[in-house]
Amino acid sequence: MTNESNNSELSPGANERFEEIGRGCYAFSADGCSNTGVIVGERGVLIVDAQATPELAAKVLEKIREKTDKPIKQVVLTHFHADSTLGAQAFDAGEIVASDLTRRMMDTRGAEEILVARDRLPGLFSGLPSNVGVSLPSMTIASSMSIDLGNLDVRLMHLGRGHTMGDVLVWVPGSSVIFAGDLVQTSSVPYCGDAHLADWPRALDRITAFRPTALMPGRGRSAIGASAVAHAIENTREFVTTLQEAASACVEQRLGLKDTFNAVKDALGPQFGSKADFDLHLSFNVARAYDEALGLDQPQIWSRERCADLKDALDGVVNTDQPVENETELPASEEAVDDVEARITAELVSDNDFAASLLEKQASEETDEEEILDLSTNDIVGPEAVEYEVEETESAEHEADEPRVLMEAAR
């Protein structure tokens, strides 16, 4: 019997599966890998997320060529993480598409992301050249984009911040299929190291409003059927809200990072501890939730140094009995760890240049025009569909650099 968990500890690429999840829509999944979506129309093929390496991307190409010889028109990158992007060039697509915000995150933190990802998942990135660079998009979208693949319309949409600031999902209304990227997980726990936890449930509400009958998650087997899709979305919501609420309660009690980690693990463990990647992601998830509870809106860049400092903090190399935003005097006998603690304080709590640049860009681009996400009634399935109003709940604080409406013709 094959393992369907996509556990990162398993041999990456083993137990590969290529299944049809709707008319013209396929999902490639394998142990230890991110998923790749494939949409086949009369005019060509669109790829959703590109695997971690060209070698893994080649496995997807083999499956595609068993179905069709049509050219690959676009590769859509749902977000900036290395495990979903570094195989993009192997598809030799006409365009590589991502959101404006994803491109900016690639520019500001993409190089560090590759280094950290390779350290965390060496097996997944084995064989990748040491000097590999960020896979940059050739086209970016601010809010939405429609693509006519021939007898199959595809819509790319940024529904707000969640797994990252720039998440894009891919909706195929004619097949009622959503490719959700890492906004939704089934058998794996979400990675929240670059997340906006307070905003994430809002993006999940918007996914639910489409009433999909099939959904490809970031990892693991796809959810087939309306009830399975609803279960996957609600499980993701429960993980995100439990993580956020548990970390917030710890900060309110003035607990330090290490005690917060233990408390959050206890809160999440009974329901999610057996899911794939729980332990792999936990320290990063707690660190981000802790930062957000302390008021840090923009996730800090994960560098190798910051990862090492986080490990030291959780291993007890530094004293984390008090929240790190409180400045405390260390006794003379602890001078040896003073520099380490100060660096952790700066990395895990203080704001950064990236967040400042977002605020500056937002101020420079403000206009008097109302900025909403352009969704037609055809984007929402069912006569009783939920009304979709972005402006109702958005604010400048929680939607930095809210994208302008944009419907671009596919090249």
Q: How far apart are CA 269 and CA 308, in angstroms?
A: 24
Q: Does residue 359 register a pLDDT over 80?
A: no
Residue 405 C-beta-side C-alpha neighbours within 13 Å: 10
At residue 333 the predicted structure's pLDDT band, cuts being 50, 70 and 90, is: very low
Position 13 scores a pLDDT of 81
User: Containing H/E element for 196?
Assistant: none
Residue with tokens 């986080």: 310
Q: Does residue 209 register a pLDDT over 50?
A: yes
Give percent of the chain with pLDDT exceeding 90.
72
pLDDT tens profile 250-260: 999 999 999 99
123-127, 197-201, 286-290, 299-303: range with lowest mean pLDDT: 123-127
Count of residues making up the chain: 411
Q: How far apart are CA 52 and CA 83, in angstroms?
A: 4
211 — alpha (psi -120 to 50), left (phi > 0) or beta?
A: left
Phi, psi of 326 (to 5 degrees): -85, 125
User: Containing H/E element for 140?
Assistant: strand 139-141
Q: Does residue 356 register a pLDDT over 60?
A: no
Using DSSP's 3-state secondary structure scheme, residue 224 falls into strand
Neighbours of 138 (CB within 10 A): 14
375 — alpha (psi -120 to 50), left (phi > 0) or beta?
A: beta
For residue 140, the Cα-to-chain-centroid distance in whole angstroms is 17
Position 12 scores a pLDDT of 84
Token reading at 69: 């010889």
Closest C-alpha among 403, 198, 375, 218 to residue 294: 198
Q: Does residue 404 register a pLDDT over 50?
A: no
Position 361 scores a pLDDT of 47
Position 265 scores a pLDDT of 98
Sheet holding 214-217, edge to edge: 144-148, 153-157, 169-172, 177-181, 214-217, 223-224
Q: How far apart are CA 403 and CA 362, in angstroms?
A: 10
- Cα-Cα end-to-end distance for the chain: 43
pLDDT tens profile 144-154: 999 999 999 99
As a whole number of Å, the CA-based R_g of the chain is 21
Which stretches of 297-349 are assigned E, i.e. beta strand?
A: none
Task: Write the single-letter amino acid at 291.
Answer: D
Neighbours of 391 (CB within 10 A): 12
pLDDT tens profile 292-303: 999 999 999 999
Q: How far apart are CA 124 and CA 8, in angstroms?
A: 8
Return the exposure string of 297-310: e unless at least 16 CB atoms fall within 10 Å of the residue's CB, then b: bbbbbbbeebbebb
DSSP label at 19? Answer: E
**Higher pLDDT, residue 78 or 130:** 78
Position 316 scores a pLDDT of 82
**Higher pLDDT, residue 406 or 82:** 82
Q: Does residue 397 register a pLDDT over 60?
A: no
For 52-68, what is the mean pLDDT? 96
Neighbours of 365 (CB within 10 A): 11
pLDDT tens profile 31-55: 999 999 999 999 999 999 999 999 9
Cβ atoms of residues 210 and 379 within 8 Å: yes
Position 59 scores a pLDDT of 95
Cβ atoms of residues 327 and 358 within 8 Å: no
Q: How far apart are CA 104 and CA 215, in angstroms?
A: 27
Q: Does residue 338 register a pLDDT over 60?
A: no
Q: The whole model's pTM is what? A: 0.79
pLDDT tens profile 158-208: 999 999 999 999 999 999 999 999 999 999 999 999 999 999 999 999 999
At residue 10 the predicted structure's pLDDT band, cuts being 50, 70 and 90, is: low
